[in-house]
Every structure is written in structure tokens, then in C-alpha cells.
């Protein structure tokens, strides 16, 4: 789905996520709205327990919002399961591949798909350049 000028690639509109029921309800997110444009580098930053991971889980489809919409190029993806969403999430956790370099971690998925080494190396270099981290190649 190509981006239209001035439009958001991902738009979170009035999203609320409540855990628990009755008097023990806790609102992890309360009417959150965010717009992320195509190719925009986006970071969630905040203290522990403020809802960062909950929002990422909702966008990725690992959980569903109690209210609100999550749009991808204008289409509501909130009801879609994770495997039908063309989005990725990288959580802040060293448990994945701490024994590998940054470049090896970036190229891992392509290697698992059986891509040629030259293609993997080129794509890794491209991604590192995109985030201005070429020194880690």
C-alpha cells in the first residue's frame, strides 16, 4: 500500500487498553493517539509501566485494544492476527542473539530465508546506513 503525501503509515487513534475487570481494572493505555509516517524512525521512550510495550503489542497484534483504532495505510488492522500484519517489533531485550554482532542480528532473518551472502551483506549495509550506524557493519 503506497503512502499518500501527508498521510500516516501507521495511525493509532484514541486507543485504550484495560487489563482486569470490575473494580480491579487498570488502564495501561488511556486514549493514546500517534501518527507514524512512512520511513519515519519512531521511538517510544518513557518510564517503566507507562504503556510502551502495551502499545507495541497492540500494533504488532499480540493483544487487542479495548477501544480505538490502529490503522495501517488507512486500513484498520486491530482485528487482524499478527501474521497478517506487515509490521515488525523489536523489543528491548538482550535475550535474542547477544552472542552475535549488530550486523549478524540484522542479517539473521535474510539468512534464514536462504538469501545469498552477497545480498544479505548488501541489505545489512543498507539498513545500517539508514540508521547512520555503518561503523557497526
Could you report the per-residue pLDDT of 15-48, keeping only the tens digit for each?
A: 999 998 887 788 999 999 999 998 888 888 888 8
- Considering the domain architecture, whether residues 111 and 80 belong to the same structural domain is answered as no
Of the two residues 41 and 74, the one the predictor is more confident about is 74
pLDDT at residue 69 is higher than 80? yes
Q: Is residue 135 part of a domain?
A: no
- Considering the domain architecture, whether residues 24 and 41 belong to the same structural domain is answered as yes
Q: At what angle do helices 102-112 and 117-130 cross, to 10 degrees?
A: 130
The Cα–Cα gap between 58 and 31 comes to: 13
Burial 44-61 (b: 16+ CB within 10 A, else e): eeeeeeebbbbbbbbbbb
Please classify residue 115 by burial: count the beta carbons closer than 10 Å to its beta carbon, then call 0-12 exposed, 13-18 middle and 19+ buried: middle
Average pLDDT, rounded, for the chain: 86
- Considering the domain architecture, whether residues 63 and 121 belong to the same structural domain is answered as no
Domain hosting 37: range is 10-84
Q: What is the DSSP letter of 39?
A: T
pTM of the model: 0.62
- Considering the domain architecture, whether residues 102 and 78 belong to the same structural domain is answered as no
Could you report the per-residue pLDDT of 107-118, keeping only the tens digit for each?
A: 988 998 999 999
pLDDT at residue 87 is higher than 90? no
How many independent structural domains does the chain possess?
Answer: 2
The predicted pLDDT at position 6 comes to 59
pLDDT band at 3 (very low <50, low <70, confident <90, very high): very low
Of the two residues 5 and 58, the one the predictor is more confident about is 58
- Considering the domain architecture, whether residues 56 and 113 belong to the same structural domain is answered as no
Q: Give the percent of the chain with pLDDT over 70.
A: 88
CATH of the domain at 54: 3.40.50.300
pLDDT at residue 94 is higher than 60? no
Q: Is residue 1 part of a domain?
A: no
Q: Is residue 3 part of a domain?
A: no
Amino acid at each position: 500500500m503506497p503512502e499518500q503525501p501527508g498521510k500516516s503509515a501507521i495511525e493509532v487513534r484514541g486507543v485504550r487498553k484495560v487489563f482486569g475487570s470490575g473494580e480491579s481494572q487498570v488502564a495501561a493505555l488511556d486514549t493514546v493517539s500517534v501518527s507514524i509516517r512512512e520511513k519515519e524512525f519512531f521511538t517510544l521512550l518513557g518510564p517503566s509501566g507507562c504503556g510502551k510495550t502495551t502499545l507495541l503489542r497492540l500494533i504488532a497484534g499480540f493483544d487487542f485494544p479495548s477501544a480505538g483504532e490502529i490503522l495501517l495505510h488507512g486500513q484498520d488492522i486491530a482485528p487482524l492476527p499478527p501474521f497478517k500484519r506487515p509490521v515488525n517489533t523489536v523489543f528491548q531485550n538482550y535475550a535474542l542473539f547477544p552472542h552475535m554482532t549488530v550486523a549478524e542480528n540484522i542479517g539473521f532473518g535474510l539468512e534464514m530465508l536462504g538469501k545469498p551472502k552477497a545480498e544479505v551483506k548488501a541489505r545489512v549495509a543498507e539498513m545500517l546506513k539508514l540508521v547512520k550506524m555503518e561503523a557497526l557493519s
